[in-house]
């Protein structure tokens, strides 16, 4: 076994901990137990006196209630309790009584305070039990009896006495073993006499309304007692005090015996502690060692071993966690190659983005170079007065090329605003048929030049929720593309279809050459042209569809492009306004004047 192994450490630490704890318990018992016992006794007695004082003030005029409180105090704390007058003399009081329910009515059995012992009271006496008593009635109504004997064995009572029988309804009797009121009340008087002889101002404190405590030892028996006296209600200068005295049972002998017992038992306890510590350390360290072996195997990147433990405690949970960690690491290593491939794909994408950037710069340069060259050439011709008869034509060409460059720059600026998300929509209610009534006539010249027609299928009198200005840009770009790439003498179809209660699908289809499949997704890129020669001839900037893409994305639209049987279809979706809201919203339609 290694010197620094976990088994040795656990064994030593556990043994020392238990032995030190055992020694501290023995030491604390010898030093503090007796003091703790005495303090607990005194504190309990003091609290009982305070509680008695509160309750006494409420029942001070009811002798039965006072007796009941006094007996309860004596029984609860195994103490002697008496009432004292202002001169600290005992007040004559017979607190012990039993109330019987007889055939002639309730009768209270009184017991003299002096001369009553526990042996005179039948065992297991409690409420509801039957009781027979001999005694002398103390009142004319025969309701209070001075008891002479309980459960008499004779068939008839002694001359002058009366025998009654009934059911116990209430009892206030002492429960202390070997209870002797005469002896205990005598001890109270002796303790009070001792208190009056002391120089400590007990009497002054009592007269000031404070409780006093006296520790007293009986010279004859050697017993130690604690006496607690507290003031009660005062009536016209007549003071009453409650005096409670209880025995402080000696615990010294018990403590010494327990200490000797511990000394005798100490070798057995030490041996048992060492044995149990050894077993405990091995029991705890064994799963730790196995878990350490598992961790070592994982450190060698061997994640395919079985779980080390299969228990339900914390070690089993740790083992299952290690097993889960092993599977996760193995899965992660298996995914590492896939991650590397994904990283390579990302690098390729970055390279592609860089290529697009360079291509964008080249496209911009090319788009500006051609019109600038044209402008420069015609300007130089005008400067040299070449072909003076064509001056107006040259100036018109310069203006056209300048307009084209201006349109390109405007589109680039607007596209850059979309890309940095600087455009904020201002949606409003738009009626589709009125929007089309405004836009389609603007393309009449272009359509007549190619003998094109427009056919609208589907509902038009619907309300859309969109930004009117941006939506016009979408329509202008899509219709321009449809007209530009349509074959002559064909029809351009505009179709609407309500795909849900809140969305409308709009499609624009022309008849022309299809777009190659690899180019469908690239149509939305900046400066991308499927047919560069045709686009250049049409003076398109190559930014229209890129702007359309951003506008539709701001509207959360589902958009796209697809090839049909003999043409190309662009489509997108827009939110609808519910029919019940039509009347309230039509007045906000910007195309109301076209109705």
Best-predicted range by mean pLDDT (59-68, 260-269, 341-350, 569-578): 569-578
Tell me the mean pLDDT in the region 27-52. 80
8 Å CB contact between 107 and 74: no
CB-count exposure of residue 290 (10 Å: 0-12, 13-18, 19+): middle
Q: What's the rounded mean pLDDT across residues 563-576?
A: 93
Q: Any idea what the Cα angle at residue 114 is, between residues 43 and 82, rounded to 5°?
A: 30
Residue 4 burial (10 A CB sphere; 0-12, 13-18, 19+): exposed
d(CA 433, CA 367): 37
Q: From CA 226, how far away is CA 187, in angstroms rounded?
A: 11
Please give, one letter per residue, the 3-state secondary structure of 206-261. HHCCCCEEEEEECCCCCCEEEEEEEECCCECCECCEEEEEEECCCCHHHHHHHHHH
* Residue 49: CB atoms within 10 Å: 21
- The CATH architecture that domain 424-594 belongs to is 2-Layer Sandwich (3.30)
The total of other beta-carbon atoms located within 10 Å of residue 40's CB is 10
Confidence (pLDDT) at 517: 86
Q: Which of 287, 71, 54, 33 lies closest to 172 in space, CA to CA?
A: 71
Token pair, residue 425, equals 């929509």
The model's pTM: 0.41
Least confident of 91-95, 451-455, 587-591: 587-591
Report how far apart, in Å, the C-alpha atoms of 34 and of each of 29, 102, 254, 266, 437 are. Answer: 8, 50, 10, 22, 107
Phi/psi of residue 575, nearest 5 degrees: -75, 145
Per the document, the length of the chain is 595
225 touches 191 (CB < 8 A) = yes
Q: What percent of the chain has pLDDT over 90?
A: 12
The CATH class for the domain spanning 303-422 reads: mainly alpha
For the chain, give every domain's residue range: 78-247, 303-422, 424-594
pLDDT at 211 over 80: yes
- Cα distance between residue 213 and residue 161, in whole Å: 44
What is the 3-state secondary structure of 64-85?
HHHHHHHHHHHHHHCCEEEEEC
Q: Is the pLDDT of residue 242 over 90?
A: no
Residue 426 has pLDDT above 80, yes or no: yes
Answer with the residue of higher pLDDT: 578 or 449.
449
Of 230 and 362, the one with more pLDDT: 230
Share of the chain above pLDDT 70, in %: 79
Q: With cut-offs at 50, 70 and 90, classify the pLDDT of residue 5.
A: low
Checking if the pLDDT of 321 tops 70, the result is: yes
User: What average pLDDT does the segment 167-196 reach?
Assistant: 75
| pLDDT for res 492 | 94
How many other C-beta atoms can be found within 10 angstroms of the C-beta atom of residue 464? Answer: 21
| Residue 509 confidence (pLDDT) | 95
Per-residue pLDDT tens digits for 484-504: 999 999 999 999 999 988 899
pLDDT of residue 525: 76
For 39-51, write each residue's pLDDT tens digit: 888 888 888 888 8
Structure tokens, 301 = 């990147």
Residue 235 has pLDDT above 60, yes or no: no
Q: What is the pLDDT of residue 251?
A: 62
Return the pLDDT at 479: 92
């Amino acid at each position: 076994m290694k010197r620094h192994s976990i088994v040795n450490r656990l064994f030593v630490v556990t043994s020392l901990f238990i032995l030190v704890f055992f020694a501290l318990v023995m030491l604390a018992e010898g030093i503090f137990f007796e003091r703790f016992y005495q303090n607990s006794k005194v504190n309990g007695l003091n609290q009982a006196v305070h509680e008695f004082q509160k309750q006494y003030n409420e029942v001070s005029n009811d002798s039965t209630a006072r007796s009941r409180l006094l007996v309860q105090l004596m029984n609860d704390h195994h103490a002697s309790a008496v009432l004292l007058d202002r001169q600290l003399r005992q007040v004559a009081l017979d607190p012990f009584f039993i109330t019987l329910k007889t055939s002639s009515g309730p009768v209270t059995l009184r017991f003299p305070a002096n001369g009553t012992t526990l042996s005179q009271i039948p065992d297991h006496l409690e409420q509801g039990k039957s009781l027979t008593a001999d005694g002398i009635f103390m009142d004319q109504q025969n309701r209070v009896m001075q008891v002479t004997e309980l459960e008499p064995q004779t068939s008839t009572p002694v001359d002058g006495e009366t025998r009654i029988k009934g059911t116990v309804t209430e009892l206030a009797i002492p429960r202390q073993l070997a209870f002797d009121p005469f002896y205990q009340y005598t001890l109270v008087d002796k303790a009070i006499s001792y208190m009056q002889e002391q120089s400590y101002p007990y009497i002054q404190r009592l007269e000031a309304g404070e409780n006093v405590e006296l520790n007293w030892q009986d010279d004859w028996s050697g017993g130690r007692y604690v006496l607690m006296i507290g003031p009660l209600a005062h009536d016209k200068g007549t003071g009453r005090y409650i005096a409670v005295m209880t025995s402080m049972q000696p615990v010294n002998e018990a403590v010494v015996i327990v200490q000797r017992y511990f000394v005798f038992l100490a070798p057995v306890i030490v041996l048992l502690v060492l044995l149990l510590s050894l077993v405990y350390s091995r029991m705890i360290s064994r799963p730790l060692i196995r878990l350490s072996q598992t961790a070592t195997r994982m450190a060698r990147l061997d994640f395919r071993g079985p779980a080390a433990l299969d228990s339900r405690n914390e070690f089993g949970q740790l083992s299952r966690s290690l097993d889960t960690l092993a599977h996760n690491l193995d899965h992660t290593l298996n995914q590492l190659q896939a991650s590397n491939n994904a990283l390579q794909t990302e690098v390729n994408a970055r390279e592609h983005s860089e290529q697009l950037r360079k291509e964008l710069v080249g496209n911009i340069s090319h788009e500006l170079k051609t019109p600038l060259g044209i402008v420069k050439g015609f300007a130089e011709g005008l400067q040299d007065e070449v072909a003076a008869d064509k001056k107006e034509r040259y100036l018109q060409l310069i203006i056209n090329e300048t307009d084209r460059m201006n349109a390109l720059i405007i589109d680039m600026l607007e596209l850059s605003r979309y890309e940095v998300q600087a455009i904020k929509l201002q949606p409003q209610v738009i009626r589709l048929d009125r929007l089309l009534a405004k836009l389609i006539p603007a393309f009449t010249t272009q359509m007549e030049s190619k003998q094109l027609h427009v056919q609208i299928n589907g509902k038009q009198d619907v309300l859309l929720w969109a930004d009117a200005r941006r939506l016009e840009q979408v329509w202008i770009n899509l219709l321009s593309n449809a007209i530009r790439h349509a074959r002559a003498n064909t029809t351009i179809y505009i179709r609407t279809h309500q795909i849900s209660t809140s969305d409308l699908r709009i499609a624009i289809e022309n008849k022309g050459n299809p777009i190659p499949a690899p180019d469908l997704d690239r149509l939305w890129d900046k400066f991308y042209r499927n047919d560069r020669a045709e686009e250049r001839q049409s003076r398109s900037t190559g930014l229209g569809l890129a702007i359309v893409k951003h506008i539709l994305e701001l509207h959360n639209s589902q958009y796209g492009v697809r090839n049909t049987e003999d043409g190309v279809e662009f489509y997108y979706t827009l939110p609808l306004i519910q029919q019940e809201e039509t009347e309230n919203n039509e007045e906000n339609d910007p195309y109301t004047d076209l109705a």
